[in-house]
Structure 1
Amino acid sequence: MVHRIIEWSLRNRFIVLLLSAGLFVWGYFSVKKNPIDAIPDLSENQVIVFTEWMGRAPQLIEDQVTYPLVTNLRGLPRIKYVRASSMFGMSFIYVIFEDNADIYWARERVLERLSTASRSLPQGVTPQLGPDGTGVGHVLWYTLDAPGMDLGEQRALQDWYVKFALQNVSGVSEIASFGGFQKQYQVTINPDKLLYYKLRISDVINAVKSNNNESGGRKFEMSDMGYIIKTDGYLRSTQEIENLAVANQNGIPVRVSDLASVQMTGESRLGIFDQNGEGERVGGIVVMRYGENAAAVIDKVKAKMKEVAKGLPPGVKFDIIYDRGELIKESINSVKRTLIEEMIVVSLVVLVFLFHWRSALSIIIQIPITLAASFILLNAFGISSNIMSLTGIALAIGVIVDNGIIMSENAYKHLAEKYEAWQKQSSAQS
């Protein structure tokens, strides 16, 4: 079979050259399409289910949230196993699917099961899916350089302007905010006053919840004029919360201000984000969507940042503190430089040792064609151009050249033997 292929190739050199050129062109465009990243994505094919039930102990979270969800999610198709962890106020469940399962198909299956599993959870507890990213999806970190702006205003600017703008970038799964203070109204209840008025904490909570609402009315006509009536009941200041009535005793309303103090403050924090020892900063983490091109996503985010920066307050600007794009460029350029150096050295070695330019050319021309063809396979198997894959290609150059040298040497040997036999036959005839 091999002899027939060699014989056919020798008789149809033009077709072989044309097929090689076509393979090289196909490989060239595959190089352009292949996603680029610095490190390979070795994370498992998983869907994260996050459930929040603040103020509850880990054991209660485990018994009433984690265990019911895990038992319901285990029956999903194409699932490998389910991991779970419970902590104070939060539950994390990691549903690991088979490697060849489509991630978005897996997320749909999990959502379908959660719609029925939620019935067994405590009232007000709603599980939600994590972002469709991977463990290496954090491609860009940034902070807001905002001198003179307090941390609460910076966090509000990040959450209500920057985050929404950057989330619209193609390939971005989530913008995770960090640092600063998340503003909230805090009601600090005095237990002695509760005992005096014979009330409970739940009475104060229900009073605030029921009064922080807005309901619609209806349209009515009067004197050939149409009027629309609605109620405006959302709380907008500490004074409005203080004036809310919790109960009525002897015709006198008991207000929130009689039982507690109300103030605008920040949510309790477990840590801070300090940058270079210069003080706290507010910023965000760009999480890349599953299977996207990291280099392309980073470029799109940076372009969007330039647009967003036009709407920031005077003096506020972005400060990029981690950019995988720079790491990608340096890594890829380093491997490319190594590949080029290898190709040049190998070509010189082949020319020097064979000392036959046609044989050397047949070996050297295999290198770019084989490299281009390897990217066709990389795209077919969904493998990105990263340090590991490109290093493997660099190591394979030696194997490519060895095969070419062996084939050339073998052909030269057989030709020499045929030439020697022909000379002997010619001498005998003469």
Structure 2
Amino acid sequence: MFTLLVTQSLRNRLLVLALAAVLVVYGAFTATKLPVDVFPDLNRPTVTIMTEAEGLAPQEVEQLVTFPVETQMNGLPGVTRVRSVSGVGLSVIYVEFDWGTDIYRNRQQVSERLAMVRPQLPPTVNPMMGPVSSIMGQIVMVALSGGTVSPMQLRELADFTIRPRLLAIPGVAQVIPMGGEVRQFRVAPQPTALRALGVTHAQLETALAQFGTNTGGGFTDQYAREYLIRNLGRTMNLDDLRNMVVATVNNRPIYLRQVAEVSFAARVKRGDSGYMGSPAVVVSVEKQPGVDTVRLTREVEAALKDITASLNACGAGKGGSGPSLAEPAGEACAFKGVRADQLIFRQANFIETSIHNVETVLMEAVAVVAVVLFAFLLNVRTTAISLTAIPVSILATAV
């Protein structure tokens, strides 16, 4: 058989050369399109369910949140294991499915079961599924700092400008900002004023729950036309909150500013982040399974450079092209000096270093093989012919 193969190859040299050339060219083209990652995805299809239950201890989280959700997940088709972690105000459940199942079908089944279990949970608890991410999902961590911007403004920049921009890149699964200060309204009731004006805490709570919302009032018919009735109350202005009517006593409106102190304040922190010894907002970028880490990292870096340039472009939004990223609140140069391209972790570095090491070792191995072949064969032509098998074999594996 081997003699026949060699004989036929010698008789059809041009055909053999043409097939080898096609393998080399197609293999080289395919090799440039192969996705590159640190490790292959060896995890079973897994759906993560995260539930925040503020104010609950781990025991209550286990009894009131984790156990009902676990009970619903155990009967799903294809489920091989259900694991959970209950902490202070947080429940995390991992639902693992069998090999070969479709992750999107699995998520649909989990979503249906979550809709069934929601009435059994506390009123303020809302379980949510985590994104479809890879085993080595975290590919980039970037620090957001610089300028004279407050931690609260930095966090808002990360939440409402950087995060939506990065999520628009194909292949990005999740963008998680950490650190900074989350803005919220702070209302500090004054008990003396409440008693003097005859306002109860229940009235105060009810009024605050209705603040900043738009409501509909149906429609009305006038002159053979229908007109929608809308109550436009959505606002984030602090003065609007201060001037909100809390109650009516003796036909006299009682405003919130009369019974409470109103201001902006930071949400209670459960952690913090920093960069180079200073407070900062750190943004973590996670990728979807099967996406080329190196390519996606370069796209994320290009987007971060564009954002940084826009933040420091004074007056860029005053022309006819509309407002720039530097003016989210209508103020020019509000974020001047802020840098959004300071990488503190880049997973692609490990991949690029490994590929470079493989290329170096491969070149050294070719040189050593060439010397050994020539030492034994003492013929340059025969050595060259033998060495051509190396690139053909390597590139053929990529086909």
Q: TM-score range by the shorter chain?
A: 0.7 to 0.9
CA shift for structure 1 position 90 = 1.6
Q: Does 1:292 align with 2:291?
A: yes
Do the aligned partners of residues 200 and 342 (structure 1) sit closer, same or farther apart at CA in structure 2, a change above 3 Å counting?
farther
Shift of 1:236: 3.2
Deviates more, 1:207-216 or 1:9-18: 9-18
Q: Is the 8 A contact 1:38 1:331 kept in 2?
A: no
Separation in structure 2 between the aligned mates of residue 77 and residue 191 of structure 1, nearest angstrom? 56
Residue in structure 1 matched with residue 302 of structure 2 by the alignment: 303
Deviation at 1:301, TM superposition (A): 1.5
Name the SS of the counterpart of 2:113 in structure 1.
helix
Q: 1:88 to 1:258 in 2, by over 3 A?
A: farther
For the 8 Å contact 1:211–1:234, the answer to whether it is kept is: yes
Q: Give the match for residue 317 of structure 1.
A: 339
| Aligned match of 1:409 | none
Question: SS of the residue aligned with 1:131?
Answer: coil
Whole-angstrom CA distance in 1 between matches of 2:285 and 2:205: 36
Amino acid at match of 2:361: T
Superposed displacement of residue 105, structure 1: 3.2
Q: Distance in 1 between matches of 2:264 and 2:238?
A: 7
For the residue of structure 2 that corresponds to 1:185, the secondary structure is: strand
Q: What code does the residue aligned with 2:388 have?
A: I
In structure 2, C-alpha distance between the alignment counterparts of 1:326 and 1:52, rounded to whole Å: 35
CA RMSD of aligned residues (A): 3.2
Report the equivalent of 1:115.
Answer: 115
Aligned residue runs from structure 1 range 38-49, under 5 A: 38-49=38-49
Question: What do the CA deviations read for 1:326-374 (whole angstroms, capped 9, x no partner)?
Answer: 3332221122111111122112212212334565445422221221122
Partner of 1:138: 138
- 2:56 aligned with 1:33: no
Contact 2:182 2:266 in 1 (8 A): yes
Q: Distance in 1 between matches of 2:147 and 2:14?
A: 69
Q: 1:175 to 1:248 in 2, by over 3 A?
A: same
Q: Tell whether 2:76 aligns with 1:76.
A: yes
TM-score, normalising length from structure 2? 0.81
1:296/1:14 Cα in 2 relative to 1: closer, same or farther (>3 Å)? same
Using the aligned pairs only, state the percent identity: 30
Q: What's the TM-score once normalised by structure 1's chain length?
A: 0.76
Distance 1:171 1:287 in 2: 9
> Does the CA contact (< 8 Å) of 2:68 and 2:117 recur in 1?
yes
Report the structure number with the largest CA radius of gyration.
Answer: 1
Distance 1:107 1:343, change over 3 A: farther
Q: Is 1:180–1:281's contact at 8 Å kept on the other side of the alignment?
A: yes
Give the secondary structure class of the aligned counterpart of 1:375: coil
Q: CA deviation at 1:24?
A: 2.5
Q: Which runs of 5+ in 1 are unaligned?
A: 377-430
Q: Which has the higher helix share?
A: 1
Q: For 1:259 and 1:336, locate their aligned partners in 2 and report how far apart those are by CA, in whole Å.
A: 72
Aligned match of 1:56: 56
CA shift for structure 1 position 317: 2.5
Paired residue total: 374
Q: Deviation digits for residues 252-284 of structure 1, max 9, x if unmatched?
A: 66665565433210111122212121x111231
Secondary structure of the residue aligned to 2:210 is: helix
Q: Which residue of 1 aligns with 2:151?
A: 151
Q: Write the mapping of 1:322-361 to structure 2, written as runs, cut at 5 A.
A: 322-357=345-380, 359-361=382-384
1:73 & 1:66 partners in 2: Cα distance? 11
Q: Per the alignment, in what secondary structure is the counterpart of residue 54 of structure 2?
A: coil
| Larger CA deviation: 324-333 vs 29-38 | 324-333
